[in-house]
Amino acid sequence: MGKNVVGKIDDQVRINTMLVSVSDKSGLEEFIPGVVELNPDILILSTGGTHGKIKEILGDKAGHCLKQVSEYTGQPETQGGLVKTLDFKIYLGLLTETYNDAHKKDLKRTRALAIDMVVVNLYPFSETIAQKGVTVEDARGNIDIGGPTMIRASAKNFIRVASVVDPLSYPDILAKLKEQNGSLSLEDRFELSKKAFEHTAVYDRNIADFLAQNTLNQVHACYTPGYILGE
């Protein structure tokens, strides 16, 4: 099957569906109500503690516009939040192209929605490894998988999707949404894509550097000995 060649896109994309899953919840108190005010019919998909925070922020309005990702996908979060967003409906919604008829049919077939904005920041890996006495297991547990995957998918599809990774950018994004009647332009989405890929590149570089600085003996020291092939 050949790759899609996109020849037609929209400059302005209205934010009707957004997915929010953040480790750093700062700035949501202003950003989320601002987005809802601009589009009262917006659907916000969210997970775990982020869902709880947004529900607290929106109060009575939450019942109208906020939904758990697990309710949307039909798949409950696994123990400890190990798997929350890695689901076909989520990634179809992120990667769907506006004028692709096959994609539209897939959305209809799966009852999925095109997701217009992703607001994601990652498990605090750098902060974790900066702590005194951190172990390989401490670090391993703070390697984010779903977050970078959502960021990369949305940033790849900047022709339609806004990928937001930095809470400090919320005021500027909100201002642009107000100026553009709840929409973001291709220029806005492209600039956000650049920041998103830089964000995941730095995140992965920090993980690779940390693992390179550790030995197999340090890995063994983290775990109760069991059966290890070859020993």
Would residue 47 count as lying in a domain? yes
Torsion of CA 107, 111, 117, 122, to 10 degrees: -110
Would residue 5 count as lying in a domain? no
Residue in 212, 53, 56 with CA at minimum distance from that of residue 119 = 53
Would residue 226 count as lying in a domain? no
Phi and psi dihedrals of 176, rounded to 5? Answer: -65, -40
Would residue 225 count as lying in a domain? no
Residue in 174, 191, 192 with CA at minimum distance from that of residue 183 = 174
How far, CA to CA in Å, does 195 sit from each of 68, 152, 169, 191, 200? 27, 11, 10, 7, 9
The CATH number of the domain holding residue 158 is: 3.40.50.1380
Torsion of CA 116, 148, 31, 124, to 10 degrees: 170
Strand 13-14 and strand 17-22: pairing?
Answer: unpaired
Residue in 165, 163, 144, 145 with CA at minimum distance from that of residue 153 = 163
Would residue 24 count as lying in a domain? yes
Strand 66-68 and strand 183-184: pairing?
Answer: unpaired
The domain total for the chain is: 1
Residue type, 221: A
pLDDT tens for the chain, 231 residues: list them.
557 777 788 899 999 999 999 989 999 999 999 999 999 999 999 988 899 999 999 999 898 899 999 899 887 666 556 666 778 899 999 999 887 888 789 888 989 999 999 999 886 777 777 778 888 888 888 888 888 999 999 999 999 999 999 999 999 999 999 999 999 999 999 999 999 999 999 999 989 998 898 877 787 777 776 655 554
Question: What's the domain range around 208?
Answer: 13-220
Would residue 170 count as lying in a domain? yes
**pTM, rounded to two decimals:** 0.86
Phi and psi dihedrals of 68, rounded to 5? Answer: -65, 140
Q: Are 15 and 35 in contact (CB under 8 A)?
A: yes
CB atoms closer than 10 angstroms to residue 130: 9
